[in-house]
Amino acid sequence: MSLIKLTNLTKQYASGDEIVEALRGVDIAIEPGEFITIMGQSGSGKSTLLSVLGGMNHPTSGEVEMAGVKLYHLPGEKLADFRAHNLGFVFQSFHLIPYLTAMENVMLPLAIAKMATKAKKSAAGQALERVGLGGKFDRLPNQLSGGEQERVAIARAIVNNPHILLADEPTGNLDSRTSDGVMALFRELNGAGQTVVMVTHNPDNGRHADRTIHLKDGVVVDV
């Protein structure tokens, strides 16, 4: 059984008087433990697809099913709870909270979890160790390099052991050498069983993936 199943997914936006079709009948199935990259040109609908996958953007029609749960059938705040327990996000600009230390940023998803502070610290420490930032727990984001900030963002995404890791252009703001390091880290996480879905426009990143889905004008053109 697929971990993620998108069926006949469409998403339309109103832009002034025009209706923009960002996704047009997308069907995708992703198996547990897969490393998928979604590629396409700017405006192809890949970021929209990721936000719909992430339970943050209601599709106009179609179904998003994750681990047997129809995501957009969940009532009210249950969708937020689903995100908290099952999804990890890595954003292009890292989006670390500037007034929190690396440790606190990583602990952020656990702030709403019913766990002892000690356990939260332990989990965040392990996540930071895992991304190679063992000695920089107390650094603020502006005291870290771009690559280090990306690693903190990845640690934040994996701290609660989500089923799926969603990444939107994670290397978009990094130089090629740092990008390679980050992609190696994603590969390593995937190797440990983590399902990864990554939006990227960098063909080099596709080399690390099991499969690449190509989008063009909101339609899957190649899998």
Partner 1 sequence: MKLHTISINNLKRRKSRMAFLTIGLMVGIATIVTLVTLTRSMSRDIEAKMDEFGANILITPQSNGLAMNYGGISLGGVTFDQREIRERDLERIRTIANHQNISAVSPKVVGGITVNNHGVLLVGVNFESELRMKQWWKVFGSEPKSEHDLLLGTDAAKVLNVLPGDHLTIKGEQFTVTGVLDQTGSQDDALVFAPLAKAQKLLGKEGKITLAEVAALCSGCPIGDMVSQIAEKLPDARVSAIQQVVEGRLKALNQFKRFSYAMAGVVVFIGSLIVFVTMMGSVNERTTEIGVFRAIGFRRSHIMRIILLEAALVSLLAGLLGYAAGMGGAGFALPFMAESKNAKLLWDGWVAGGSITLALVLGLLASLYPALHASKMDPTEALRAL
Which residues sit at the interface with partner 1, rule CB under 8 A?
Answer: 47, 50-51, 54, 56-57, 77, 80-85, 87-89, 91-93, 95, 97-100, 104, 107-112, 117, 120-121, 124, 156, 168-169
Q: Which residue pairs from 191-194 have beta carbons closer than 8 angstroms and sit at least 24 positions apart in sequence?
A: 193/33, 194/33, 194/158, 194/165
Is 25:61 a contact under the CB 8 Å cutoff?
no
Q: Is the CB of 41 or the CB of 93 nearer to partner 1?
A: 93
Q: Is the CB of 112 or the CB of 184 nearer to partner 1?
A: 112
Shortest reach from residue 151's CB to partner 1, in Å: 17
Close Cβ partners of 159 (under 8 Å, ≥ 6 residues apart): 88, 106, 107, 109, 110, 123, 124, 127
Shortest reach from residue 29's CB to partner 1, in Å: 23
Q: Is the CB of 1 or the CB of 116 nearer to partner 1?
A: 116
Shortest reach from residue 111's CB to partner 1, in Å: 5
Shortest reach from residue 88's CB to partner 1, in Å: 8
- The token pair at 15 is 């832009």
Shortest reach from residue 40's CB to partner 1, in Å: 15
Q: Is the CB of 47 or the CB of 205 nearer to partner 1?
A: 47
Q: Is the CB of 29 or the CB of 136 nearer to partner 1?
A: 136
Strand spans (E) along 67-171: 69-70, 87-90, 164-168
If residue 65 lies in a helix (H) or strand (E), which one and from where to where?
A: strand 61-66
* Buried residues in 121-133 as b, exposed as e (16+ CB within 10 A): bebbbebbebbeb
3-state secondary structure of 195: strand
